[in-house]
Chain A
Amino acid sequence: MPTTTPAPPRWPGWTLLLAVILVLVGLPWITSGYAGRIIINTCRNLVLALSFDIVGGYTGYINLGHAAFFGIGAYAFGICVRAGMPVLLAGGAAILLTALFAALISYPFFRLRGPYFALATFGLLKLCEELALTLSGLTGGSGGLSVVWPENLTLSYFLNLSLAVCTFLTVWLVTRSRFGLGLVSIREDEPVARAFGVSVVWYKCAALVVSALPAAALGPVYLSDRLYINPGEMFGLETALMPITMAILGGSGLLIGPVVGVAFLSLVQEVLWTQLGVLRLASLGLVLALVGLFMPGGLVRLPPVYTRLCRWGLVQEG
Chain B
Amino acid sequence: MTALVQLLISGVLLGGIYALAAFGLALIFGVCNILNLAHGEFLMLGALVCFLLGQSLGIDPFVSILVLLPLFFVLGMLFERGLIRSVVEKTGHEQLTASVLVTLGLSLCIEDVARVLWGTEEKGFYYSLPPIILGQGTIVISSVRLLALGCIVGITLVVHQFLVRTYLGKALRAVTQNRRGALLVGINTAHIGLLTCGIGTMLAAVAGVFYMLLYSVNPSIGLPLTLRYLCIIVLGGLGSLFGALLGGIILGLTEVFTGYLLNPHWQETVAFLMLVVFLLVRPQGLFGRVQI
Q: Do chains A and B touch in the complex (CB under 8 A)?
A: yes
Interface residues of chain A, those whose CB is within 8 Å of chain B, are 60, 62, 108-109, 111-116, 118-120, 122-124, 126-127, 130-131, 133-134, 187, 191, 237, 241, 245, 248-249, 252-253, 278-282, 284-293, 296-298
| Cα(A118)–Cα(B231), bound, Å | 10
Contact A285 B109 (CB under 8 A): yes
| Cα(A60)–Cα(B98), bound, Å | 14
Q: Tell whether B104 is near chain A: CB-to-CB under 8 Å.
A: yes
Q: Tell whether B108 is near chain A: CB-to-CB under 8 Å.
A: yes
Contact B100 A292 (CB under 8 A): yes
Question: Contacts of B142 on A, CB cut-off 8 Å?
Answer: none
Expressed in whole angstroms, the minimum distance between the Cβ of A175 and any Cβ of chain B is: 17
Question: Contacts of A278 on B, CB cut-off 8 Å?
Answer: 116
Contact A293 B83 (CB under 8 A): yes
Chain B 214-256 interface mask (CB, 8 Å, partner A; 1/0): 0000000001100100110010001000000000000000000
Q: Tell whether B156 is near chain A: CB-to-CB under 8 Å.
A: no
| Cα(A253)–Cα(B98), bound, Å | 14
Of B87, B113, B285, which contacts A116 at CB under 8 A?
Answer: B285
Could you name 25 residue pairs across A and B whose Cβ atoms are closer than 8 Å? A60-B93, A111-B280, A112-B280, A116-B234, A116-B279, A118-B35, A118-B96, A120-B276, A123-B275, A124-B276, A127-B269, A127-B273, A131-B269, A133-B265, A134-B265, A281-B109, A282-B109, A285-B107, A285-B111, A288-B102, A289-B102, A292-B97, A292-B99, A292-B100, A296-B98
Q: Tell whether B90 is near chain A: CB-to-CB under 8 Å.
A: yes
Q: Tell whether B185 is near chain A: CB-to-CB under 8 Å.
A: no
Question: Contacts of B291 on A, CB cut-off 8 Å?
Answer: 113-114
Expressed in whole angstroms, the minimum distance between the Cβ of B239 and any Cβ of chain A is: 10
Contact A293 B266 (CB under 8 A): no
Known pairs A111-B280, A134-B266; A286 contacts B105 (CB<8 A): yes
Q: Which residue of B lies closest to A190 (CB)?
A: B292
Of B90, B104, B112, which contacts A296 at CB under 8 A?
Answer: B90
| Cα(A154)–Cα(B234), bound, Å | 45
Expressed in whole angstroms, the minimum distance between the Cβ of B53 and any Cβ of chain A is: 24
Contact B111 A248 (CB under 8 A): no
Q: Which residue of B lies closest to A241 (CB)?
A: B104
Of A115, A119, A287, A298, which contacts B105 at CB under 8 A?
Answer: A287
Main secondary structure of the interface of A (DSSP, over half): helix
Known pairs A134-B269, A237-B227; A252 contacts B276 (CB<8 A): no
Main secondary structure of the interface of B (DSSP, over half): helix
Of A108, A134, A253, which contacts B280 at CB under 8 A?
Answer: A108
| Cα(A287)–Cα(B285), bound, Å | 34
Report, nearest first, the 7 A-B pairs whose CB atoms are least far apart: A292-B101, A285-B108, A289-B105, A288-B105, A296-B98, A292-B102, A282-B112
Q: Tell whether B176 is near chain A: CB-to-CB under 8 Å.
A: no
Contact A122 B227 (CB under 8 A): yes
Contact B279 A120 (CB under 8 A): yes
| Cα(A126)–Cα(B273), bound, Å | 9
Q: Tell whether B125 is near chain A: CB-to-CB under 8 Å.
A: no
| Cα(A284)–Cα(B83), bound, Å | 16
| Cα(A122)–Cα(B35), bound, Å | 13
Q: Which residue of A lies closest to B272 (CB)?
A: A127
Expressed in whole angstroms, the minimum distance between the Cβ of A57 and any Cβ of chain B is: 9
Q: Tell whether B8 is near chain A: CB-to-CB under 8 Å.
A: no
Of B97, B238, B272, which contacts A123 at CB under 8 A?
Answer: B272
Question: Contacts of A253 on B, CB cut-off 8 Å?
Answer: 93
Among B106, B230, B272, B285, which residue has the most Cβ atoms of chain A within 10 A? B272
Contact B280 A285 (CB under 8 A): no
Question: Contacts of A120 on B, CB cut-off 8 Å?
Answer: 234, 275-276, 279-280
Question: Contacts of B108 on A, CB cut-off 8 Å?
Answer: 281-282, 284-285, 288
Question: Contacts of B276 on A, CB cut-off 8 Å?
Answer: 120, 123-124, 127
Further 9 A-B residue pairs, CB within 8 A, beyond A292-B105, A293-B87:
A60-B93, A112-B280, A116-B234, A119-B234, A123-B279, A124-B276, A241-B104, A281-B108, A282-B116
Considering the complex, which residues of chain B in the window 123-147 have a beta carbon less than 8 Å from any beta carbon of chain A?
none
Expressed in whole angstroms, the minimum distance between the Cβ of B222 and any Cβ of chain A is: 11
Expressed in whole angstroms, the minimum distance between the Cβ of A5 and any Cβ of chain B is: 32
Expressed in whole angstroms, the minimum distance between the Cβ of A25 and any Cβ of chain B is: 33
